Amino acid sequence: MLEIKNLHKNFGDLTALSNVSFTAQSGHITGLIGQNGAGKSTTFHSILNFINYDGDIKWNNHKIEEADFNDIGYLPEERSLMINLTVEQQIIYLARLKNKKANAIKAKIDAWLNKFEVKGSKKTKIKSLSKGNQQKIQLICTLIHEPKLIILDEPFSGLDPVNADLLKHEIMLAKENGATIIFSSHNMQNVQELCDHLVMLNSGNVVLNGNTQNIRDSFGKTKLYISTEKSREELLWLNHVKDVQTRFKNHYLINLDNEAAGKEIFDKVIGGQYTDQFSQEPPTLDEIFKMKAGEHIE
């Protein structure tokens, strides 16, 4: 378990983090989100002792010590591979820094290359790989030593949907094996899909902190996805309907002023008739992100 309390960091006159506090549990995935410059990377760099900071950071009830770094996997946002090394040399080099034996890691490399469907072999030089495959190698370097604390800064960058799914699978396996996982992403769909817990920063301040679904539900289930033969104009006349968007033929998104109106609309519009869709939901994380990112922090 990772505990962060009252984390504060200034860069000159700029306050990058202001009393940031949250907990990342073992066997859970925590999403750290926010606009560019919100403080996500500064938080990661503080955890990793890359920078000095004020506050308290504990890993399993103690301050992070040198030996703990052998159990940490960190993927930086910027690609940081040595392009003249082969894939095998690069992976072994970084694993040795984690106090892993070269032979033990070497025996795992082919399996990991297959897992991530890398287009190249362990003898291929890093510079010969595409950007997407270089990202895969960096991910392998982050995960191959089976870390207990995994920090991923924009891990899906450069990955197409198929390859992003390969990474999601490995993240979920690490979660099932009890790892504490924190990742940042600007893709709210990935965050909503994977994260048990959500922390959002705005100008270095925590503006959201809690269970991902609970946070969504707290904004009210005011979005109604519905399939009906009624027209958009007919739906607009219903009580508590703020707006109706046509998604495609006979399928609409209704924005309500009160989530309690869902039952009334169901009774009036559906009335016991068959429908292939009637789903009342809270705002998406993407919508919540935009709402909270626009808030002014005093």
pLDDT tens readout for residues 87-98: 999 999 999 999
pLDDT tens digits, the chain, 298 residues: what are they?
999 999 999 999 999 999 999 999 999 999 999 999 999 999 999 999 999 999 999 999 999 998 999 999 999 988 789 999 999 999 999 999 999 999 999 999 999 999 999 998 999 999 999 988 999 999 999 999 999 999 999 999 878 999 999 999 999 999 999 999 999 999 999 999 999 999 999 999 999 999 999 999 999 999 999 999 989 999 999 999 999 999 999 999 999 999 999 999 999 888 888 889 999 999 999 999 999 987 766 5
pLDDT tens readout for residues 5-48: 999 999 999 999 999 999 999 999 999 999 999 999 999 999 99
Instruction: Report the DSSP beta bridge partners of residue 211.
Output: 197
Instruction: Let me know how many helices (H) and strands (E) the chain has, helices first.
Output: 10, 14
DSSP state of 69: G
* In the chain, beta strands by DSSP E: 2-11, 14-24, 29-33, 54-59, 62-63, 72-75, 149-153, 180-184, 197-202, 205-211, 223-227, 241-248, 251-256, 278-281
**What is the phi-psi region of residue 168: left when phi exceeds 0, alpha when psi lies from -120 to 50, beta otherwise?**
alpha
The domains found in the chain, sorted by start residue, are: 2-217 (3.40.50.300), 220-281 (3.30.70)
- The Cα–Cα gap between 219 and 280 comes to 13
